[in-house]
Amino acid sequence: MAATKTRASSFSRNPSLLNSSHTSPGLKHGPNGSIFVSSGIPDLDKILGGGFSLGSLVMIMEDAEAPHHMLLLRNFMAQGLVHSQPLLYASPASDPRGFLGTLPSPEKGLRIAWQYKKYFGEQQPNLEAHRDSKHEYCSDFDLRKPLERHFLTRQQISCVSIQDPLNLTSFREHCSTFLNEIQRIDGITSCIGRIAIQSFCAPQCGYSNMDWVMLSFIRSLKSMVRSSNAVAIISFPPSLLSPSFCKRWQHLLTYCFQLKQSEPRHVSDEDKDLAKLLTGYQDMVGLLNVHKVARANTQVPVILEATTFSIKLQKRRHLTLECLNQTPVDGASKTSYATTGSCSGSSKTGALDF
């Protein structure tokens, strides 16, 4: 009997074909035919199940009192530059290019004194003693070291200041030309563009009063990004936006993160209480709350194990996200953890769930 292997169903995608076609390290293929782009923070990629899915719009709700959204943006932009992906950066500052000088540099891989070549033979002829960060999907960024100049001059980076133009149409056209150019650079799908918009509704921007104009801009940006190979990140301070529009934006965007700071320090010894409550409180610089995660080509919603993570800077260099470790609470007690108001600067955020 000739045993021929026939496929029972022809609907499953053959992964081996895909792997051979793309060579770019900036992409990762996930389940259900989704393609992921790294966020630049390894912990965040793990939480999201691979990274940001291609064509998604990420929203970061800033904390009005802390600059941690800049850390997330920096890692995102630096990851794109390391992978030679074109980048569009917009900010309300009058000279946005200055921000590029603060991007972190990737950590070089471990130097292992081992003779790989002996064991692998002809499979990897180019293997060097240290791993090149370009070939990694997500690099570990050292926030203290600035990104090398050759990354900044090599590929196309455009910086736009969104402070002056009163209406957003010129910015919208800028985005659409940027996204169209990505298609033209490379025929295959390995070229991904990144758009980073910082402090979108900052008060000094002329359009910050025009809620509906901003909403329609975000909608058109979302449609542009979805039909091209790009990922866009928008950060904005939610306290300056009316709550109904904040909700509208949350529904419109694919991923939604909120940054909160740890409890403001009163002069009393509340810190000691919090330090007892959470391990590693002193290292924590803030909290990240994941409100919404994309459903990549599936009808089943993604339910995360935990939605609140603490942001820590390891040795002030590496950004890590950790699950909050808390002492077990007596369930029968009336004063629950959330209502005592610790770990959230504002009472409008709901209970933290672990």
Partner 1 sequence: MAESVCRALRDGSMEGEHAAALTVKDSMKCPYGHNVFNHVLTQLSSNILSSKSQSKGLVLVALSQSPSFYYDLLRSRGIVDFVTNKWIHILDGYNDPLGWKKWLSEHDKIGSISSEIFASTTIFRNIKDLDQLLSLIIEVGKGLVGQGKGRFSVAIDSVSEMLRHVSLSSLAGLLSKLRGHDQISSTFWLLHSDLHDIKATAVLEYMSTMVITLEQTSESFDQQQTILENLSLHEQNSCKGKIQVRMKRRNGRVRVTCEEFDIDQSGMKFSSASPESATINQSLLPKVQFNLQLTEKERMDKENVVLPFEHQGNGKTIQIYDGRRALTEGKKGTEPTPTQQLPAVEDSGKGDIIYFRDSDDEMPDSDEDPDDDLDI
Residue of 254, 262, 310, 344 interacting with partner 1 (CB under 8 A): 262
The two tokens of residue 276 are: 């007892």
Span near partner 1 by CB under 8 A; candidates 41-49, 86-94, 133-141, 180-188: 86-94
Closest separation in Å from C-beta 333 to partner 1: 4
Helix, coil or strand: residue 177: helix
Based on CB atoms, which residue is closest to partner 1, 68 or 318? 68
Closest separation in Å from C-beta 88 to partner 1: 22
Q: Report the candidate in 20, 159, 22, 142 with the shortest Cα–Cα distance to residue 82.
A: 142
Closest separation in Å from C-beta 263 to partner 1: 8
Closest separation in Å from C-beta 289 to partner 1: 15
Residue of 32, 209, 227, 297 interacting with partner 1 (CB under 8 A): 209
Range 201-208 contact pairs with CB under 8 angstroms and sequence separation of 24 or more: 201/236, 201/237, 201/240, 201/241, 202/92, 202/163, 202/236, 202/237, 202/240, 203/240, 204/92, 204/163, 205/92, 205/162, 205/163, 206/163, 206/164, 206/165, 206/166, 207/165, 207/166, 207/167, 207/168, 208/240
Provide CB contacts within 8 A for 180, sequence distance 6+.
Answer: 228
Pairing mode of beta strands 255-260, 284-292: antiparallel
**Count of positions on this chain that bind partner 1 (CB under 8 A):** 47
177 binds partner 1 (CB under 8 A): no
Span near partner 1 by CB under 8 A; candidates 80-88, 143-151, 226-234, 270-278: 270-278
Based on CB atoms, which residue is closest to partner 1, 176 or 277? 277
Closest separation in Å from C-beta 140 to partner 1: 22
205 binds partner 1 (CB under 8 A): yes
Helix, coil or strand: residue 261: coil
Report the C-alpha gap between 71 and 294 in whole angstroms. Answer: 22
Report the C-alpha gap between 224 and 247 in whole angstroms. Answer: 22
Residue of 244, 268, 299, 347 interacting with partner 1 (CB under 8 A): 268
Based on CB atoms, which residue is closest to partner 1, 33 or 98? 98
Q: Report the candidate in 332, 336, 262 with the shortest Cα–Cα distance to residue 68.
A: 262
Residue of 276, 280, 302, 306 interacting with partner 1 (CB under 8 A): 276
289 binds partner 1 (CB under 8 A): no
Closest separation in Å from C-beta 211 to partner 1: 11
Q: Report the candidate in 204, 201, 215, 79 with the shortest Cα–Cα distance to residue 143.
A: 79
Residue of 79, 254, 258, 261 interacting with partner 1 (CB under 8 A): 261
Report the C-alpha gap between 39 and 231 in whole angstroms. Answer: 10
For the chain, the straight-line distance linking the first and the last C-alpha, in angstroms and rounded, comes to: 57
Residue of 28, 68, 83, 292 interacting with partner 1 (CB under 8 A): 68
Residue of 163, 183, 190, 250 interacting with partner 1 (CB under 8 A): 163
The residues in 302-341 that bind partner 1, with binding defined as CB under 8 A, are 327-330, 333, 335-337, 340-341
The footprint of partner 1 (CB under 8 A) covers 63-68, 92-94, 163, 202-206, 208-209, 237, 239-240, 242, 261-262, 264-268, 270, 273-274, 276-277, 285-286, 327-330, 333, 335-337, 340-342, 345
